[in-house]
Amino acid sequence: MFYTIFHGLLFLSFSYVEASKNPVIAFQYLTDDSVGLDIYEYYDAAGLLDGYTAHVNTPVCEDSLCYKAELEFYWNITGNFAEFKLMPDRPLTKLDHVPFSKSDYGKLMDILLNQTPSFVYLKRNELVSKNTDENALEIDGISSATVTQVKEDMVEGAIYTCYTLWHIANGEIIFNIKEHTIKKLDKPLIHKLLGSKNLEELFFVIENIDSGYFSIFLPEILSLAEEYGGYFIKSVIENMPVSLMKDDIVQNFFSTNFNQLEHQAQNSLLEKLEEVRLKKSILVVLIDGILPGNSLQNEQIIRMVIKNTNSENIEVLIKMFEVLRNRQIVVSEDLYKELISLEDRYESLKKEVRRFRNIHDKRH
Amino acid sequence: MNIVRNIFIAVFSIISSIAFCMARDIIFIEAESFSDRGGWVIDQQSMDVMGSAYMLAHGMGAPVADAHTTFEVSTKGKYRIWVRTRDWVAPWKVEGSPGKFQLLINGQQIETTFGTEGAEWHWQDGGNIRLKSGISKISMHDLSGFEGRCDAIVITNDLKFYPPNQPEELANFRHKYLGLTDKPIDAGKYDLVVVGGGMAGICTAVSAARLGCKVALIQNRPVLGGNNSSEIRVGLSGLIYQKPYTKLGSLVDEIGPVGHWKLWEAQQDSNSVRSQKIFEVIKNNPEKKEHNAGPADNYNDAKKLRIVLTEENLSLFLNTHVMNAEKAGDRIVSVTGKSIITGKEYKFRGALFADCTGDGNLGFLANADFRVGRESKSQTGEDRAPAQADRLVMGTSVQWNSVEEDTFSPFPDTNPWAVQFNENTSHKVNKGDWDWETGANRDQVVEIETIRDYALRVVYGNWDFIKNKSVEKEKFANRKLTWVAYIGGKRESRRLLGDVILKEQDIIQGIKFPDGTFTTTWDVDLHFPIRSNNFTGEPFRSRADMRKIEPYQVPYRCLYSRNVDNLFMAGRDISVTHVALGTVRVQRTTGMMGEVVGMAASVCKEQNALPRDVYSKYFTELQKLMEKGIGNPGW
């Protein structure tokens, strides 16, 4: 595998090389070692933002002994480190000046791609025990389990290189890239990301586009929500502007999908739907979602149904009473009183209310 | 006439007798109050939502021992059983109902299997049984070891009765049928009432008590220590004994176990007596170097308890969750805590209060101003604040660990109810450290049961995959899952607002406040959920985004509420922005906050003053105490 990665590193042409636009500086970034980096945007063949790159030329130091590490870094559009590329005639070397081997480069790639290596919380001076006291040598600053793991997470003989480069690849720059990409989110870029089938990018778009773009791309977003379901659909609901909730397309979508949603996603949806007028089709679906064992959600649905019905769609209320009766749904005393009072408002509900009351009275 | 009268009397007697026989018996049993809890554990994390703790069968795949208790009915006859429970994986619309359990009454199994239906807590119908009058034994029998749960049991001879489930009605029902007193039991009057028994709370309480305050320390778990207890197992981080108040941290040093950072400090100054003693401890107990998710003894619950119990002015109330605060004007006059075991309520009156709950529970109950989530860049001017404010927080860690056995160690198949993994998405590791973190997009108070449960679905699903299904399963054949936290290790929830809200740039730029107190040393360490392209579910791991800092003195005005006059804060709920929380949240630092708050409380008592007055009038008094220190580490 390392061999493949190494070859990939050396011989693959990166997309920015083929891009139709010249790279421009996105922002400047100062590393923990106070090395200034110019972070460039790079683009796909269509000229759309595709990621970021920087020429990294950093000292790697152990006490007063320093040497240089020089290479190109690449991050994806959401800020995650993607890969590195070696500079011609500038191989990475270890402390003893031995050049990295192919497997060392492969290992380095794995390290830089790992967002939670075991050395995250170690200070630089904890990486190697310098205590010459014999007793103290037995007592490394990190647990024996961690020592083993740290060794596994490092290229042997190049721990400071790994440590330094990891902190550049995975430091605050991730946040900065995200922020920069958010500013660049325009129609073509959003269109590209929504079509990427890359879940990380899809979440990024859903969480960061404004209400205008949400509206423009609503059909695509709902289609993706249907495709991925689960937690993705919950994120779509939570990030969808309330103003879109009254849209026919949205209410129809959730009429079809409500019963497949996870419980928390249903609750998020109900919270959003509270804000808007609901159509009959979605009310009927919500009523079908009234189930024994879901007391709190049931109460919310019942109140929403009462709020959104009138004499013109009384059949919705009749259906709800049927469900309450048939599924033996128990409600709070407050809600019970509200339900019973509906017979004063709607003559045609009297029969249903009476049957519901009979069941309730038997239980209390 | 006599005959008629006798007939009448006879008929009346029969009717009366029937009426007596039909008198409604409702027996309400809190599961937590079972006299023998067997292997079941009490989970109180959702009390603010549910109104009660519940019992959890946390067996990590092996059914836990039965819990037993007794109850008494006055009349023999047919009784209906209701059990308040839920199918804990139902919210994810997955099959399998892993939390199955049964009830046995007088040794006889009830037909219904509980924990098999409903995404929400509700009363599951257990059907009818016949009981003799008198005392009966009831047992909860776990069937899976996978987190079955029971809140309460109702046994009634009113076969049409359905117990209430809505929060308010249920609370009243509990109160009535548990026979609780109308008013809370008076638990006394104190100079300082400390709510929360993590490192911040312990240090607040001990510090104030040693300086002459009469203190109540209220903790909602059976052990002290919070995130640093054996229940959660997060090692203590951050440096102590920092300039300018080089004695701050002495109490943290006294209370805190020997571990990673004590050893690190010892290595910087290896010749001191303290360092030599630390080396000695580590030499004899090398396992103490395991910072997170280590052996239970690493977290030294007993030592914390011993120190608190030996404190003369300090009264400790374990297993008590504060659920109400009574105010007069802008001051809290009392708090009411509920036993997580019996449901009994206790009122604590006080002159001063300290919110060391982490979640800012007390402040919330007292209507203290607070924030949740990330402020916007325009709000704080912080580099790492987002353009738009949002509710993202640092998540809750559910850590776990395993050991190598001599022989094969089986683990059950968790398909279909656990999160399903494959070779690409699984993590082939022996231990789950801090980065097994969930719930960053969820409410850490209201949704904690969901957050913890999702983490458990992840841990069990991953473990099942790597042990039973992976191409590398041989590597894990003898590994045994020995510990999984069921109490979540939270990082962030509500942040109560003080007269100063500390921002990241204050720290980075070294802005000096006139009321500097403890020194924070941890980098500004923010956690973000990791999303990967090949995993469609909710993120369950996090990455740390750290910005280096120089040691920084945090102002005193972050340690009291700006709108509740007698409320202090210590812990992760102090007055800081989301970003600034990244540095102050580690536990040796929160412990030092506690030392300072305890000292400030003593100044308040001495001067008959409020927390704000300590800043405006008596800060030199506090400075003297900070210079002196309060701990006796005994090195």
Q: Which of A263, A289, A324 is the last residue of a domain?
A: A263
Is A28 in the same domain as A49? Answer: yes
Q: Of A219, A241, A263, which residue constitutes the final position of a domain?
A: A263
Q: How far away is chain A from the Cα of B165, in angstroms, using its nearest Cα?
A: 7
Asked if B531 and A200 come within 8 Å (Cβ–Cβ), the reply is: yes
B161 and A363 within 8 Å at the Cβ level: the answer is yes
Q: At which of A211, A233, A263 does a domain end?
A: A263
User: Phi/psi of residue A53, each to 5°?
Assistant: -145, 155
> A87 and A44 in one domain?
yes
Residue B509, pLDDT > 60, answer yes
Query: Distance between CA atoms of A202 and A221, rounded to whole angstroms?
Result: 9
Whether the predicted pLDDT of B3 surpasses 60? no
Task: Note the pLDDT tens digit of each residue in A128-156.
Answer: 765 544 444 343 444 444 456 677 788 88
Q: How far is CA B10 from CA B4, B7, B13, B18, in A?
A: 10, 5, 5, 12
Q: What is the pLDDT of residue A94?
A: 83
| Per-residue pLDDT, B532 | 79
User: Both A164 and A214 in a single domain?
Assistant: no
Distance from CA of A50 to the nearest CA of B (A): 16
pLDDT of residue B220: 98
Six token digits for residue A91: 């191989």
**Which range has the worst mean pLDDT, A27-36, A355-364, B12-21, B27-36?**
B12-21
Q: Which of A143, A230, A362 sits opposite B536 (nearest CB)?
A: A230
- Are both A15 and A86 inside the same structural domain? yes
Average pLDDT for B617-633: 98
State the residue range of the domain holding B245: 185-256+300-389+496-522+548-628
The span from the CA of B557 to the CA of B562, in Å, is: 9
Q: How far apart are CA A292 and CA A140, in angstroms?
A: 58
Average pLDDT over residues B113-129: 96
The mean pLDDT of B111-121, rounded to a whole number, is 96
Residue B111 lies in a domain: yes
- Would you say the C-alpha torsion B281, B286, B292, B298 has a positive or negative sign? negative
Asked if A15 and A162 sit in the same domain, the reply is yes
Instruction: Kindly identify which residue of chain A lies nearest to residue B524, measuring between CA atoms.
Output: A172
Query: Which tens digits make up the pLDDT trace of B157-180?
Result: 999 888 999 899 999 999 999 999
User: Domain for residue A131, yes or no?
Assistant: no
A268 found inside a domain: no
B374 touches chain A (CB under 8 A): no
Q: A294, A329, A362: best mutation site toward chain B, by most B Cβ within 10 Å? A: A294
The number of beta carbons lying within 10 Å of the beta carbon of residue B208 is 34
Same domain, B362 and B448: no
Determine whether A210 is exposed, middle or buried from the number of CB atoms within 10 Å of its CB (0-12, 13-18, 19+). exposed
B464-477: buried (b, 16+ CB within 10 Å) or exposed (e) per residue?
A: bbbbbbbeeeeebe
Contact A360, A321 (CB under 8 A): no
Tell whether the model's pLDDT for residue B592 goes beyond 90: yes
What residues of chain B, 78 to 117, have a C-beta less than 8 Å from chain A? 86, 90-93, 117
Min Cα separation B125/chain A (Å): 10
A71 shares a domain with A171: yes
Examine the domain organization and report whether A72 and A165 are in the same domain.
Answer: yes
Q: Name the pLDDT band for A295 (thresholds 50, 70, 90).
A: confident
The pLDDT of residue B15 is 43
Place of tokens 């946390």: B58
Mean pLDDT, all residues of chain A: 87
Kindly report, residue by residue over B213-230, the tens digit of the pLDDT. Answer: 999 999 999 999 999 999
Q: Could you tell me which chain B residue has the CA closest to the CA of A119?
A: B544
> Within this chain, do residues A170 and A191 fall inside the same structural domain, yes or no?
no
B413, B517 Cβ separation under 8 angstroms: no
Identify the burial level of B207 via C-beta atoms within 10 angstroms of its C-beta, where 0-12 means exposed, 13-18 middle and 19 or more buried.
Answer: buried
**Cα end-to-end span (Å), chain B:** 97
Residues A91, A15, single domain; the answer is yes
For B235-389, where are the alpha helices, taking DSSP H only?
250-255, 260-268, 273-284, 301-309, 361-365, 377-380
- Name the H helices within chain A: 2-11, 15-18, 102-113, 134-137, 144-152, 159-169, 173-184, 187-194, 199-208, 211-216, 218-228, 230-239, 248-257, 263-273, 280-288, 295-307, 314-326, 333-345, 350-363
Would you call A199 and B165 a contact, using CB atoms and an 8 Å cutoff? Answer: no
Short-list B360, B320, B371, CA closest to B343: B320
Please write the tens of the pLDDT for every residue from A241-254. 999 999 999 999 99
pTM score, whole prediction: 0.93
* B21 pLDDT above the threshold of 70: no
- Residue from the list B90, B387, B447 with its beta carbon closest to the beta carbon of A179: B387
Q: Which residues of B35-74 are buried (b: 16+ CB within 10 A; e: fewer)?
A: eebbebbbbbbbbbbbbbbbbbbbbbbebbebbbbeeebe
Interchain contact, A230 vs B289, CB within 8 Å: no
Domain C-terminal end among B475, B490, B505: B490
| pLDDT value of position A333 | 87
How many Cα atoms sit within 13 Å of B628 on the Cβ side?
11
Sheet holding B77-85, edge to edge: B26-30, B152-156, B77-85, B122-131
Shared-domain flag, residues A36 and A168: yes
CATH number of the domain where residue B213 is located: 3.50.50.60
User: Which residue in the set A136, A141, A294 is minimally distant from B264, CB to CB?
Assistant: A141
| DSSP at A125 | G
Q: What is the average per-residue pLDDT within B616-621? A: 98
Structural tokens at position B490? 């939270």
Residue-by-residue DSSP string for A244-298: GGGSHHHHHHHHHHGGGS-HHHHHHHHHHHTTS---HHHHHHHHHT--TT-HHHH
Q: What is the pLDDT of residue B534?
A: 75
Distance CA B70, CA B107 (A): 12
Task: Say if residue B319 is in the same domain as residue B411.
Answer: no
ipTM over 0.95: no
Q: What is the mean pLDDT of residues B271-290?
A: 95
Residue A12 has pLDDT above 80, yes or no: no
- Shared domain for B373 and B327, answered yes or no, is yes
pLDDT score recorded for residue A92 = 93
What's the pLDDT score for residue A140?
Answer: 40
Exposure letters B172-197 (e unless 16+ CB within 10 A, then b): ebbbebbebeeebeebeebbbbbbbb
Specify which of A197-201, A324-328, B498-502 reaches the highest per-range mean pLDDT.
B498-502
Beta pairing partners, B440: none
| Spatial CA neighbour of B237 closest among B491, B573, B587, B583 | B587
Rg (CA), chain B: 27
d(CA A308, CA B600): 55
Residue B19 in tokens:
């009426």
What phi and psi, each to the nearest 5 degrees, are found at residue B375?
-75, 160
- DSSP symbols for B161-204: -----SHHHHHHHHHHHTT--SSPEEEEEEEEEEE--BHHHHHH
pLDDT of residue A20: 52
Q: Provide the pLDDT for residue A123.
A: 80
Say if CB B332 and CB B353 are below 8 A apart.
Answer: yes
Whether residue B40 sits in one domain with residue B112: yes
**Mean pLDDT, to the nearest integer, of B485-514?**
98
B112 within domain boundaries: yes
The model's confidence at residue A115, banded by pLDDT at 50, 70 and 90, is very high
Same domain, B363 and B472: no
- Chain A residues close to B533, C-beta within 8 Å: 198-200
Q: Are residues B514 and B476 in the same domain?
A: no
Give the number of domains in chain A.
Answer: 3
- State percent of chain B over pLDDT 70: 96
Question: How is residue B43 written in tokens?
Answer: 């989970």
Range name among A70-79, B309-318, B429-438, B532-541 with the lowest pLDDT average: B532-541
Please tell me the distance from the alpha carbon of residue B410 to that of residue B431, in angstroms, as a whole number: 17
Q: Are residues A89 and A189 in the same domain?
A: no
Looking at per-residue pLDDT, the higher value among B160 and A169 belongs to A169
Chain A residues touching B535 at Cβ < 8 A? 199
* Chosen domain end from B135, B157, B177: B177
Max Cα separation, chain A?
Answer: 93
- CB B161 within 8 Å of CB B26: yes
Show the domain range for A346: 277-364
Q: Work out the pLDDT band at B4, boundaries 50, 70, 90.
A: low
Of B25 and B358, the structure prediction assigns the larger pLDDT to: B358
Check residue A141 and give its pLDDT. Answer: 40
Residue A124 lies in a domain: no
3-state secondary structure of B345: strand
Please provide the DSSP assignment of B281-298 as one string. HHHH-GGGG--SS--GGG
Nearest CA in chain A to B160: A363
Give the C-alpha separation, B122 to B85, whole Å.
6
Residues B477 and B508 in one domain: no
pLDDT value of position B283? 94
- For B506, phi and psi rounded to 5 degrees? -60, -40
Question: Hey, how many other C-beta atoms are within 10 angstroms of the C-beta on B314?
Answer: 23
Domain match, B321 and B336 both: yes
Query: pLDDT per residue over A78-87, tens digit each?
Result: 999 999 999 9
Task: Name which of A75, A71, A84 is nearest A51 in CA terms.
Answer: A75
Residues 6+ apart with CB under 8 A from B504: B380, B382, B383, B384, B524, B547, B577, B579, B580, B582
**Which of A182, A292, A362 lies closest to B118 in CB terms?**
A292
pLDDT computed for residue A358 by the predictor: 87
Query: Over 80: is that where the pLDDT of B425 sits?
Result: yes
A19-to-A47, A87, B369, B458 alpha-carbon distances in Å: 6, 20, 52, 41
Residue B351 has pLDDT above 50, yes or no: yes
C-alpha separations of B243 from B12, B74, B207, B248, B592 in Å: 87, 69, 20, 9, 13
For residue B561, tell me if it sits in a domain: yes
- Using 50, 70 and 90 to split pLDDT, how confident is the model at B6? low
The pLDDT value recorded for residue A292 is 87
Chain B hits for A198, Cβ within 8 Å: 533
Closest CA to B567 of B592, B530, B597: B597
- Rounded mean pLDDT, A210-234: 95
Question: How far apart (Å, rounded) are the C-alpha atoms in residues A230 and B28?
Answer: 38
Are B533 and A200 in contact by the 8 Å Cβ rule? The answer is yes
Task: Give the domain-ending residue among B126, B153, B177.
Answer: B177
* Residue A137, in any domain of the structure: no
Shared domain check, B338 and B429: no
How many other CB atoms are found less than 10 A from the CB of residue A145? 17
Q: What is the pLDDT of residue B24?
A: 80
Q: What are phi and psi of B25, to 5 degrees?
A: -100, 125
Cβ contacts of A337 within 8 Å, gap of 6 or more: none
Element (H, E) at B597: helix B587-607
pLDDT of B450-466, one tens digit each?
999 999 999 999 999 99
Pair (B468, B326) in one structural domain? no
- Look at chain B and report how many structural domains it folds into: 3
**Tens digit of each residue's pLDDT (9 = 90 or more) over B43-91:** 999 999 999 999 999 999 999 999 999 999 999 999 999 999 999 999 9
Q: What share of chain B is helix, strand, coil (3-state, %, to 5)?
A: 30, 25, 45
User: Is the same domain home to B326 and B385?
Assistant: yes
